[in-house]
A and B are shown apart, each in its own frame.
Chain A
Amino acid sequence: MPVDTSYAGREYPPNAAYDVGREKLREFASAVGATHPAHLDPEAARAFGHPDVVAPPTFAVVVAQRAEAQLFEDPAAGIDFSRVVHADERFTHHRPIHAGDRLVTVLHVDSIVERAGLAMITTRAEIASQDGEAVATVVSTLAVRPEES
């Protein structure tokens, strides 16, 4: 089944909140080899003016992908994950994510473009605090290869 291009322009309702925990940030930092003390030690983070340990720059992908699942796990969208290649990714941080944040994400499908047999799907996850403060924007483009003919 081909990708349904009519999903372009869709905006999903805010998803279930993501609670950012210290141990998750430490685990993620360790996995990417991020050793700055502000990721690990609340006292060190406070010395930099953060309320608690802060996330590495790419941690927001963990929050964003929960919202992206609304599109990718929708059978009607026709996106076969075994044929997906990650094309590009961008994080814009309006403020750092820190432990104790409760984050709500609104997913936008910015575009679905078919090019040389590939479907290029660009999503934008707008991540905000529970009281509506903009925290991060995550823009991700995936390329979906055509089915073997």
Chain B
Amino acid sequence: MGDRPQPADLEVGQEVGRREVTVDRARLVRYAGASGDFNPIHWNDRVARSVGLPDVIAHGMWTMGAAVSVVVDWAGDPGAVVDYQVRFTRPVPVPDPGSATVEVVAVVGALDAEAGTARIDLTVTLDGVRVLGKAQAVVRLG
């Protein structure tokens, strides 16, 4: 496939992708079904408030999964993402009615010429505040 990124074209600090992803309650129900994570704090206001949350919150794993698609699309092949980690630092409350919009910015964090990989660092924010920490994907390059 011709569109895989090449190491020679990359430098640390370079932005490789940017995307806004929107999440509403229906999206959370869909993710619950697809993932098998039926924790009610992700779809039931009453339960979410009873455990001290401001509102229903998105699955951290939804946010992690949605954020990496910008990396997959840049990498050109989902199989090129060989490692992906995040720290969940803040919840993403999802109002009803309405939705929450998370912004994802992907930047080259490090290059490993020997391994032929790039570490892509993701900045994932809600209203300008980070919701994921140390969000890093390692991509095998073309």
Contacts and interface: CB of A to CB of B under 8 A. Distances in A.
Q: Do A and B bind each other?
A: yes
Interface of A: 24, 27-28, 30-36, 38-39, 47-50, 54-58, 61-62, 65, 81-83, 85-93, 95-96
A33 B66 contact: yes
Interface of B: 1, 21, 27, 30-31, 33-37, 39, 51, 60-62, 64-66, 68-69, 71-73, 77-79, 81-88, 134, 137
7 contacts: A30-B34, A31-B62, A50-B79, A54-B78, A81-B39, A85-B88, A88-B134
Contact of A31 (B1, B34, B71, B73): B34
B79 to A, nearest CB: 4
Given A36-B69, A56-B65, A58-B64, A31 B78 contact: no
B31 A31 contact: yes
Given A54-B79, A57-B137, A48 B85 contact: no
B99 to A, nearest CB: 13
B1 A86 contact: no
Contacts of B34: 24, 27-28, 30-32
Query: Which 9 residue pairs are nearest across A and B when measured between Cβ atoms?
Result: A32-B65, A90-B85, A31-B34, A96-B79, A58-B65, A88-B87, A31-B31, A57-B81, A28-B34
Contacts of A33: 21, 66, 69
Given A57-B137, A58-B64, A86-B88, A31 B79 contact: no
A86 B65 CA distance: 14
Nearest to B72: A36
